[in-house]
């Protein structure tokens, strides 16, 4: 049977001159199609493949939730490196009293906070009595052989107040005579316990903390615990009257038992230049281990503020008024101490 005539798809009869040349090139140098050669097939262009839809930015963020913790860690690392860079280069601010707010927030408070929350388990009451802004003088009892109560009060104000305010403590001369302690106290916002510095801080809108008992409070024997000592001459009242700022009484329970002072080596204290040298059930018998405070349960309560802005300017020079206000503050702190002691079920729990 004769072979059927196959007409290629691009037959020259359907093309012009250009088509004939192209067909000839495809047929090769011999011209026509050889016997047995299959018919030419037209090239088929592939269909375009649609690109996958790119997610919107918010979708892309939602599709990688696992990277969120890593991003948070990266931010903390970047913040830490930035903090170190500022400390090394000196690119940070310190006020006229030596207070370094950045160092206090990021380092000192971070070190003291676990002690307050986990070790002493400080319970804070009445923090709403501290003004949200403006100056105020916080007056507290002093106890504990070592002045840890002032540091715990500073953490309590900063962490529990709605405005996270900083408390500037007035400290004794001895604090600023000790190496290392002097620098740390300045950086943490402490300043010398004098009327001039306290008034400047109050008038600039700062919270100022004072413990009028001084060394008489922290150096008293354990048998006199929670019995307030004399509040001095009432200089803190005069300072508050001049600045026109309220006085906030503060009562601290729990600090008396951290170092039960059962004795005082007065001769050794005079040799070392200390106001007292404590002897406790653990110190100095256990050496450095005896300096570890007992893990008592603390309560810090801030009482209702006593206003001073209603008095005339000359009231700060009235000794009778200062005596009455000093006695009012002292009685309010003492009454709250007795009330908290009655409510306390255990020294450690």
Distance between start and end Cα atoms, the chain: 113
Could you tell me if residue 79 is inside a domain? no
Peptide bond connecting 284 to the previous residue in cis, omega within 30 degrees of 0: yes
- pTM comes to 0.77
Q: What are the CA-CA distances from residue 22 to residues 19, 276, 285 (Å)?
A: 5, 114, 110
Task: Give the DSSP letter of residue 306.
Answer: B
Is the predicted pLDDT of residue 51 greater than 80, yes or no? Answer: no
Could you tell me if residue 168 is inside a domain? yes
Could you tell me if residue 73 is inside a domain? no
Q: Give residue 74's pLDDT.
A: 83
- Rounded CA gap, 214 and 196, in Å? 18
Could you tell me if residue 114 is inside a domain? yes
Q: Where are the alpha helices (DSSP H) in the chain?
A: 17-27, 57-62, 68-89, 101-103, 109-114, 148-160, 181-187, 195-203, 215-218, 235-243, 266-272, 319-343
Say if residues 250 and 138 touch (Cβ distance below 8 Å): yes
Could you tell me if residue 21 is inside a domain? no
pLDDT band at 69 (very low <50, low <70, confident <90, very high): low
- Rounded CA gap, 346 and 198, in Å? 37
Could you tell me if residue 81 is inside a domain? no
CATH number of the domain at 131, please. 3.40.1130.10
Task: Give the DSSP letter of residue 65.
Answer: G
Is the predicted pLDDT of residue 29 greater than 90, yes or no? Answer: no
Could you tell me if residue 322 is inside a domain? yes
Model confidence pLDDT, tens digit, residues 291-304: 999 999 999 999 99
Structural domain boundaries enclosing 130: 96-258+293-343
Q: Give residue 48's pLDDT.
A: 55
pLDDT band at 19 (very low <50, low <70, confident <90, very high): very low
- Rounded CA gap, 307 and 329, in Å? 11
Could you tell me if residue 32 is inside a domain? no
In angstroms and rounded to an integer, the radius of gyration of the C-alpha atoms of the chain is: 40
Task: Give the DSSP letter of residue 95.
Answer: -
Is the predicted pLDDT of residue 349 greater than 70, yes or no? Answer: yes
| Number of separate domains in the chain | 1
Model confidence pLDDT, tens digit, residues 165-187: 999 999 999 999 999 999 999 99
Mean pLDDT within 1-15 = 43
């Amino acid at each position: 049977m004769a072979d059927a005539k196959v007409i290629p798809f691009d037959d020259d009869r359907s093309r012009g001159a250009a088509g004939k040349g192209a067909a000839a090139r495809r047929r090769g140098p011999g011209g026509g199609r050889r016997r047995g050669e299959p018919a030419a097939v037209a090239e088929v262009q592939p269909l375009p493949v649609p690109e996958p839809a790119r997610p919107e930015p918010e979708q892309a963020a939602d599709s990688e939730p696992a990277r969120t913790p890593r991003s948070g860690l990266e931010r903390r690392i970047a913040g830490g490196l930035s903090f170190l860079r500022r400390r090394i280069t000196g690119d940070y601010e310190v006020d006229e009293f030596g207070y370094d707010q950045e160092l206090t927030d990021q380092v000192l408070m971070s070190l003291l906070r676990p002690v307050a929350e986990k070790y002493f388990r400080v319970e804070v009451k009445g923090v709403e009595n501290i003004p949200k802004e403006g100056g105020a003088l916080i007056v507290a009892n002093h106890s504990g052989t070592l002045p840890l109560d002032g540091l715990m009060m500073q953490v309590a104000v900063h962490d529990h107040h709605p405005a996270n305010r900083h408390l500037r403590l007035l400290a004794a001369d001895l604090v600023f005579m000790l190496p290392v302690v002097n620098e740390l106290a300045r950086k943490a916002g402490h300043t010398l316990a004098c009327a001039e510095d306290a008034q400047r801080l109050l008038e600039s809108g700062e919270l100022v903390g004072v413990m009028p008992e001084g060394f008489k409070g922290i150096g008293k024997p354990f048998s006199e615990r929670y019995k307030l000592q004399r509040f001095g001459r009432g200089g803190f009242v005069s300072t508050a009257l001049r600045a026109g700022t309220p006085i906030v009484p503060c009562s601290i329970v729990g600090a008396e038992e951290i170092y039960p002072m059962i004795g005082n080596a007065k001769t050794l204290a005079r040799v070392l230049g200390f106001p007292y040298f404590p002897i406790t059930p653990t110190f100095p018998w256990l050496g450095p281990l005896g300096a570890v405070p007992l893990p008592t349960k603390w309560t810090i309560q801030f009482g209702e503020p006593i206003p001073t802005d209603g008095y005339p300017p000359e009231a700060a020079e009235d000794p009778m008024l200062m005596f009455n206000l000093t006695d009012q503050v002292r009685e309010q702190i003492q009454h709250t101490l007795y009330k908290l002691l009655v409510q306390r079920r255990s020294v450690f729990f």
